[in-house]
Structure 1
Amino acid sequence: MEIKTVSIIGLGALGIMYAHHFSNVLPKDNVRIIADQDRINRYKKTGIYCNGELCNFNFVTPESAVSPSDLILFTVKFDGLQDAIHSVKNHVGPNTIFMSALNGIISEEMIGQAFGFDNVLYCVAQGMDAVKVNNELTYAHKGILVFGDKEPGTISENVKAVEKFFKQTELPHEIDTNMNHRLWGKFMLNVGVNQTVAVYKSNYGEVQNEGEARQTMIAAMREVLKIADKEGISLTENDVDYWLKVLGTLSPDGKPSMAQDVDAKRFSEVELFSGTVLKYAKKHGIEVPVNKMLYEKISSIESEYVR
């Protein structure tokens, strides 16, 4: 299979970054940005900017009749995933490959339940420091998309097709033959960095340097080690060190998505992070006091928002 067309749904930080990248190297009609008409009207009115450049995206509504896309990339927030799954249906054919750059550890399962698991690749976006404020995205590091098959130790034809496509379009990427381990590792990092930077109302710089915030972040990550062990996932201190090194490559002035949500007084993905940790901790009878504290503090911040 050769990938020529890609559909992207979700114009948050990652969605804009990948849509901008592909739109610069592929024919305009080959990159479809799926959005409802109200959003499209708003995007066209305000414009969307990536590192200061006005984006010229090919918008398509969910109702539009289109040929199947070769690749669909989900870049929505978790609470928008179910709607996104419904919205991409007109873009799906028998050979369409699905990839999700969402946080957490369950989006691939939800996509597979909707469309079948044969063409779902597991994916982790890591190492980017994209910050989106209103309609403007800025980033210093694009990071990489790490992807692979659900079954460990395999490299399917779909993985090879995506690798070829990413090479042709010069998108930084890496193949991992143990994606479940990678997903849990990224989840561990997000549980630590997303929530800590949000609670301390700071940036990557604060958790890159020694101090209370960094200690809180690492303690939250180590609580994920405990629940991962009970779930049969072999995360270790070596994985903590690996993800801290990834964190160390990011712009100190950048912020993770949850901190950006707090700044904008948007409801965050706290249920996806400490909320998930607390559920696993209850299941296995494990104490996770740091994640409990972070959950309570973020919930308290969000309780002050005007609904």
Structure 2
Amino acid sequence: MRIAMIGIGALGGIYLDRLARGLPDADVVVVADGERADRLERDGITINGERRVFPVLRPGDATSSADLLIIATKAAGLDPAIALAAPHVGRGTIVLSLINGIHSEPILARAFPRAHVVPSMTAGSDVMRRGNEIRFANFGRIAFGDTAQSDAVRRLGEVFAGADVPHEIPRNMTHVLWWKFMGNVGINPASALLDATYGEFQGGDSPAGAVMVAAQRELIAIANAKGVALGEDDLAEWLRVVGTLDPAGETSMLQDMRAARPTEIDIFAGVVVEMGRELGIPTPVNETLFHGIRARERILGSR
């Protein structure tokens, strides 16, 4: 079996490592170019203190279609990832996106019509990355599936079971995707603007948690208007998951903000505000978070 990974950030790194360890007979490779490929070949990545080096394929290298292609870049890296992925995708290739938000799968399905793009989401991971060092206390889990519960979904389940990757195949993947989107819409912008670790969102009297939930309630109203039945039980489940995370851990957006990198605010609050305008649903909390993050990015960028 051939598994290719594009985007060895925090989440991509721990999934690549778990697959390579759990499936020693598989051909597990990283697809990268330029300085990133040089760095991965030279330094590898360090996961919970252990250095790991994986084979790297560059554009132009001899290759064949992957059985499984995983894209784990930031949202802004999706288009370059598609270009890198093209030589590795053929008829029957399973394409899995670990990118935040709800936008990447439709784009990938249009880019690779002969492949099986399987919708997915991850939750419960508190992975952090500093340079080439990755640390986590909780690996989390991945949920995936499609309306038909296709053969590709079955095969993907077998791969993750073989590699001991915690996973589930829910009956209603659309609901699960919107549940994760709800979670990210609340905790990512709030954590970045408030400079708050997971611990600040834990407990029933958390002011940071109140900001998070206020943003999430706006998304719930939008989801309901679109026929997705998010509600109080989903909020309670999200709060339960947040309570299991390392209190010192950081969301991906907080990590970006602390490193003065551009954030993914467009795919969270930006999408909520846009959908709210289309549906006539007010989104004042998400508008405030959107402009607050943009202001913070500008302030940090000017230093």
TM-score (norm 1): 0.94
Alignment partner of 1:297 is 2:292:
yes
Q: Cα deviations across residues 81-130 of structure 1 (Å, max 9, x unaligned)?
A: 01101111111111101111111111000000101176111100111000
| Residues 47, 73 of structure 1: alpha-carbon distance in 2 compared, 3 angstrom cutoff | closer
How do residues 59-98 of structure 1 correspond to structure 2 at under 5 angstroms?
A: 59-98=56-95
> Which of 103-112 and 38-47 deviates more?
38-47
Alignment partner of 1:271 is 2:266:
yes
Gaps of 5+ in 2: none
Contact 2:41 2:56 in 1 (8 A): no
2:166 aligned partner = 172
Corresponding pairs, count: 301
1:254 pairs, out of 239, 246, 249, with: 249
SS of equivalent residue, structure 2 residue 265: coil
TM-score (norm 2): 0.96
SS of equivalent residue, structure 1 residue 6: strand
1:158 pairs, out of 152, 156, 160, with: 152
Q: Cα deviations across residues 226-274 of structure 1 (Å, max 9, x unaligned)?
A: 1111211111111111111111111111111000000100000000000
The one-letter code matched in structure 1 to 2:218 is E
1 CA distance for matches of 2:215 and 2:207?
12
Return structure 1 stretches of 4+ with deviation > 6 angstroms: none
2 CA distance for matches of 1:253 and 1:283?
38
How do residues 13-162 of structure 1 correspond to structure 2 at under 5 angstroms?
A: 13-27=10-24, 30-116=27-113, 119-149=116-146, 151=147, 154-162=148-156
> Which of 260-269 and 97-106 deviates more?
97-106
SS of equivalent residue, structure 1 residue 167: helix
2 CA distance for matches of 1:160 and 1:289?
42
Contact 1:147 1:175 in 2 (8 A): yes
SS of equivalent residue, structure 2 residue 144: strand
1 CA distance for matches of 2:142 and 2:44?
26
The one-letter code matched in structure 1 to 2:135 is T
Shift of 1:29: 6.6
SS of equivalent residue, structure 1 residue 62: coil
